[in-house]
Structure 1
Amino acid sequence: MTSHDPGSDPASRTTPPRSLVARLASSLADPVLRALVAATAVSRVGRGVFFAVTVLFFTQIIGLSAAQAAVVLAVSSGCGVLGSLLGGWLADRWSARRLSFAFEALGGVMLAAYAFAGDFVSALVLASLSGFLDSMGHSSRSAIIARGFAPERRVHARAVLRTVTNVSIAVGSGFGAIALALGTPEAYRIVIASGGLLCALGSLPLLRLTSAVDAPSRTALHDVRTETGSIDTDAASASRRDWNRRSPWRDPRYLLLSALSAVFGMQFGVAEFGVPLWITEYTEAPEVVVSVLLIVNTTLVVLFQVRASRGTHDVRVAGRVTMIAGWLMVGACLVYALAAGLPAWVAIVVLVCAMVAHTFAEILSQAGAWGLSFELADPVRAGAYQGVFGMGFSLGALASPIVVNATAITYGLAGWGMLAAIFLAAAIGIWMIARRAAASVPSF
C-alpha cells in the first residue's frame, strides 16, 4: 500500500500494494525525514551493539556483580528521566537541530568511552552520562518531528523511524555477537568503541536539517513592537505571561496522558525483563526461546508499525487503537501465565502466541501515544511538551522491573492478572482522554 491517503489519488486505486522497502523509500522524498532516517539508521546500529553486550561486559569483563550492574542501569535510566525533560526545555529555546547533533555526538563519545571502563565507578559515570545525553537527544528530535511535519505526517514519521530503529538495532546486535563469540576483553572493547563511534557518526546527517525545524525565537515572540518601531512593553509582558501559561506543567490533561502512557509503557519491561525471567524460572521452554521471541517482536514491528500508525493523528483513532492495545495486552499477560507447567513444545507455542499479541499491543499503543502526544500538545511549546511526555516513558522504564517483579514474577498467574488489570486501566484512561479531547474545542 502507498504511504499517502489512497482516496487523494485516483490512480492509487489501481496501483498494487508495494513492499515495505518501497513504502519506506517513498517516504524519504521528504528531506527532513530523510535526514532523520539516515541519522537513526547509523546511530541505532551503534546502540544495538550495546544492547547485545553491555550487561555481559559489565559482569564478565569489568567484573561487576549482578547487583552492581543493575544499579548502573537503574541510575542510567534515572538520568534519562532528567534528560528527557531538559532536552525538550532546551529545544524550545535554542536550535533543536544543533542540540540534537550535539547530544548525539557527545552520547556516542560516552558510549565509546565504555571501552576504557574498568570498575563500578567509571561504569556508573559513563552510563549516567550516556543515558542523560541519549534522552536529551530523543526529546529534541521529538521537537523536530513536531515542527518539521504536518499534523497528519508526524505519526507516520515516528513509525518510519521506529521501523528503521528496529532494523538497525538488529544489525547492531549481530555485530555485538562477534564480541560474544570471541569472549575476550579485547574483542568486547573494540566492538564497544566501534559502536560508540557509529553513534557519534549518526549525528552528522542532522546537520542537513534547516532552521524550519527550530522553535520560533523567544525574542520575536516577546518583543511586540508598535507602529513607530518601539517595543510595546505591556504587550511584551503579556506575551511572556502567555509563554509561561503554555507550559505543559500547567496542562493537567497532558500530564495525565503522560502518566497513563508511562504506565502502559511498562509493557516494554514485561518483554525485556519479565518474559525472560518467566521462561527460565517458571516454564519448561528452553532459554533460546527468549531470542526467538525477540525475533518475532522485531519482525512484526518492522512489518506493521508504519501501516498500523496511519490515521492516528486523529485523536479519536488514537484513542480507539490504544483501547485495542489494552485488550491485547490483557490477553498477552494471561497467555504468558498459561505457559507455566506445560510441556516444553506446548509452552513454546503458547509463548509465541503471547508475544504476537504483546507485539501488536506494543505497535498500536505506540501509534496511539504518538498521535495524542503531538495533537494534545501546545505547538508553541512543542519541545517542552515532548520532553514531559518522554520523561513519563523514562519513569515507566525505571519502574517496570520493580512492578513486573512484584506482580508476575512473585505471584505467578495472579500476578499476571494484576499486570493485565494495570494495562487495561491505563488504556481506558487514555481512551477517555482522547474521547473528551475529540468532543471539545481545541484550547489553543
Structure 2
Amino acid sequence: MISQDPSAPTSTKPSLSARIARSLDDPVLRALVASTAVSRIGRGVFLSVTVLYFTLIIGLSAGEAAVVLAVSSAFGVLASFLGGWLADRWSARRLTFAFEALGAVLLATYAFADTFVAALVIATLAGFFDTIGHSSRSAIIARGFAPDKRVHARAVLRTVTNLSIAFGSGIAAIALALGTPEAYRAVIVGAGVIGILGTLPLLRLPASVDAPTRTVEPVRTETGSIDTRNTADAARVARLDWRRRSPWRDRRYLLLTLLSAIFGMQFGVAELGVPLWITERTTAPEVVVAAILILNTTLVVLFQVRASRGTHDVRVAGRVTMIAGWLMAAACIVYALAAGLPTWSAIVILLAAAVLHTFAEILSQAGAWGLSFELADPVRAGAYQGVFGMGFSVGALAAPIVVNATAITYGFVGWVVLGVVFLGSAAGIRWIARKAAAALEREKHGHANGGTAMAEPA
C-alpha cells in the first residue's frame, strides 16, 4: 500500500460557503454583498406585509390594491432603462446609493398613508427610485468584474437576497401575528430604516465601477495650438459612435430581451398562478403556498451559485436556458395534474412541480445573466443592462394577465399553452446564443488569420 505524503496538496473541493467567502476578497463584491444582505431584509419585511397593510389597515379594496401595485410596476419599466442610462453618464455608485436611499425613505412613509391616493403616490415613487438604483447596480456589476466573474457575482448576490428576504419575512411575521395597525406601521418604518442602512456599504465601492469619462482630446496643430475645427469633428464622431452603440439599435440584444421577458413570466406563475391554482382548483391546504415558497428559497440558496458556473460562455448560457425551458414546461404539466386529486396526492404533485419550477428558475437566471452581459456593448454597459432589466419589468407587468388568461381560466389546456410559451422562448434564446457563439468563433478565427473575417452584425 502506498502512503500519501501528508504535506502534498489534496484535491478536496472547497465547500459552497468556502467558495463564497473566498470570493468576498473582491472589494466590489464585498460592498455589494454587505449592502444586499442588509437592504433586502427590509425588502423582505415589506413584501410580506404590503397587500395586507393596504387592505386590512388602510382599508383599500382588492381592486384598489391591485391598481397600486400595477401602476408601481408600470413606472418600474421606465425606471429600469433610466437607471442604466444615467449610470453611463454619471457615477453609478453615487446614483445607486442616492436612489436606493431615497426609495428606502419613501418605503418608510407607507406608515403614514391612509388613503388610496396616498398609497398610490408613495408606491409609485418608492418603486420608481428603488428600481433606478437596482438598474444602476447592474451597471456596477457589468463594469466591476471580469467577464468570467460577473455571473458568479450575480449568483452570490441572489443567494444573499433570498436569505435576507427570508429573514425579513420572519420579522414581518410579528406584525402579522399581532395584527394591529401599530404593529404593521412599526415594521414598515423599521423596513425603511434597514433599507437606508443597507445603502451605506455602497459608499465603499471603488471608482472603477463608474463609466469612463467621455472626453475628446483636443487636436493640435504642428505649432501646438488647438485645431478647433478638427477637435469639433472628433467630438461629433465620438457622439455618433456613442449613439451607434445604443442597445435600441442592437436587434439581437432586443430579441434576447424580449424572449427573456417572456420566460421571466415564470415568476408570475409562482407569485400569482400557483397560489390561485392551489386555492381554486386543488384540495391542497393553503399552507402549501408557504411550503413552496420555503422550498424555492432553500433550493435557490443551495444551488444558484453552482448552477451559474460557466454561463459566461454564451454556448453554455444557451444550453442551460434550454434545459430550463424543458423543466418549466414539465412543471406546468405537473402543476396541472394536481387538480382533482386527493389532498395528500395533490400536495406531493404540487411540491414536485415546485422543484421542477425552481430549477427552471435557477438555470434560466444563470443563462440570462451570462447572455445579458456577454452580448452587451461594454461601452454602453449601463444602457444595455437597463434595457434588459426593462424587459423583465414588462414581463412582470404582463405575467398576471397571461397566467390568468391561460392556466387559471382554461385549466390543463391553459397550463399546456403556458408550457409551450416557456419552451418556445427558451428555444429562441438558445438559437441567439448559438448564433452569437458562432459569430465570436468566426471573429476570433479572423483575427488569427490577419483580420480577414468579419463578425456577424447584431
TM-score (norm 1): 0.95
Which residue of the partner structure matches residue 28 of structure 1? 24
Give yes or no for contact 2:317–2:366 (8 Å, CA) kept in 1.
yes
Q: Please, what is the CA RMSD of the aligned residues?
A: 1.4
Q: Please tell me the residue identity of whatever aligns with 2:205.
A: L
CA distance in structure 2 between the aligned counterparts of 1:314 and 1:400, rounded to whole angstroms: 29
Which runs of no fewer than 5 residues in structure 2 stay unpaired?
1-6, 444-454
2:77 is aligned with 1:78: no
1:173 pairs with one of 163, 169, 172: 169
CA distance in structure 2 between the aligned counterparts of 1:22 and 1:345, rounded to whole angstroms: 39
Q: Please tell me the residue identity of whatever aligns with 2:232.
A: T
Q: Please tell me the residue identity of whatever aligns with 2:388.
A: F
2:106 is aligned with 1:114: no
Which residue of the partner structure matches residue 306 of structure 2? 307
Q: Please tell me the residue identity of whatever aligns with 1:200.
A: I
Q: Percent identity?
A: 74
Q: Please tell me the residue identity of whatever aligns with 1:394.
A: S
Which residue of the partner structure matches residue 238 of structure 2? 239
Which residue of the partner structure matches residue 59 of structure 2? 63
Give yes or no for contact 1:52–1:176 (8 Å, CA) kept in 2.
yes
Which runs of no fewer than 5 residues in structure 1 stay unpaired?
1-10
Residues 314-365 of structure 1: per-residue CA shift (max 9 Å, x gap)? 0000000000000000000000000000000001000010000000000000
Residues 281-302 of structure 1: per-residue CA shift (max 9 Å, x gap)? 0000000000000011000000
2:45 pairs with one of 27, 33, 49: 49
Give yes or no for contact 1:274–1:404 (8 Å, CA) kept in 2.
yes
Shift of the alpha carbon at 1:13?
8.2
- Give secondary structure in 1 for the equivalent of 2:212: coil
Which aligned pairs between 1:126-141 and structure 2 lie closer than 5 A? 126-141=122-137
Q: Which has the larger radius of gyration?
A: 2
CA distance in structure 1 between the aligned counterparts of 2:137 and 2:48, rounded to whole angstroms: 24
- Give secondary structure in 2 for the equivalent of 1:14: coil
Shift of the alpha carbon at 1:20?
3.1
1:217 pairs with one of 213, 218, 221: 213
State the 4+ residue runs in structure 1 displaced beyond 6 angstroms. none
TM-score (norm 2): 0.92
Which residue of the partner structure matches residue 98 of structure 2? 102
CA distance in structure 1 between the aligned counterparts of 2:79 and 2:9, rounded to whole angstroms: 46
CA distance in structure 1 between the aligned counterparts of 2:345 and 2:194, rounded to whole angstroms: 41
Which aligned pairs between 1:400-411 and structure 2 lie closer than 5 A? 400-411=399-410
Change beyond 3 A, Cα 1:195–1:229: farther
Which aligned pairs between 1:1-400 and structure 2 lie closer than 5 A? 14-218=10-214, 220=215, 222-223=216-217, 225-226=219-220, 228=224, 230=226, 232-400=231-399
Give yes or no for contact 2:327–2:356 (8 Å, CA) kept in 1.
yes
Give yes or no for contact 1:112–1:193 (8 Å, CA) kept in 2.
yes
Give yes or no for contact 1:224–1:236 (8 Å, CA) kept in 2.
no
The number of equivalent residue pairs is: 432
Shift of the alpha carbon at 1:226?
3.8
Shift of the alpha carbon at 1:246?
0.3
Residues 28-72 of structure 1: per-residue CA shift (max 9 Å, x gap)? 100000000000000000000011100000000000000000000
Change beyond 3 A, Cα 1:225–1:148: farther
